[in-house]
Amino acid sequence: MSSSSSPEPDTSQITLEDSISKQGRKKTKSSTLSEEQKKAHHIASEQKRRENIRSEFDKIVSLTPNLTESENRSELNILTKSADYIDQLRDENQKLIELCRMKGIQVPSELIYTGPQNDGSDIAK
């Protein structure tokens, strides 16, 4: 019995090692890209993602009057100044609505900002 119990751990170790090496081989057999190619694709995808983010931040900079191309363009600075500008636009919009109402001018509901809607829309319907 002692002789049969000692080979069992060895067999399970070999089986475990075999299964690990088989898994490794299966990965390389089923994968058509080398590790270098996978890394290159990952790097290219990450660069494309970063470029897309940069492009969208450039759009925000172009739409926000208090941001200039020459000043510090950290993401925090861009987001802070953009949020400040949006707040300013909301305030101006509210003042214009009040002015129109004081003069008896009917303001269509779609021109009145009511905050974010559940559907992602920013205007009243």
Greater pLDDT, 23 or 103: 103
Torsion, CA 84, CA 98, CA 116, CA 62, rounded to 10? -40
Number of Cβ atoms within 10 Å of the Cβ of 81: 19
Round to whole Å and give the CA distance between 1 and 19: 27
Compute the chain's Rg from CA coordinates: 31
Give the predicted TM-score (pTM) of the model.
0.57
Q: Give the pLDDT band of residue 114 (cuts 50, 70, 90).
A: confident
pLDDT tens-digit profile of 37-76? 999 999 999 999 999 999 999 899 889 988 877 777 788 9
Q: What is the DSSP string of 2-38?
A: HHHHTHHHHHHHHHHHHHHHHHHHHHHHH--S-HHHH
3-state helix, strand, coil in the chain (%, to 5): 70, 0, 30
- Give the pLDDT score at 2: 47
Q: What digits encode the pLDDT tens for the residues 1-43?
A: 544 444 554 444 555 555 555 555 545 445 688 999 999 999 9
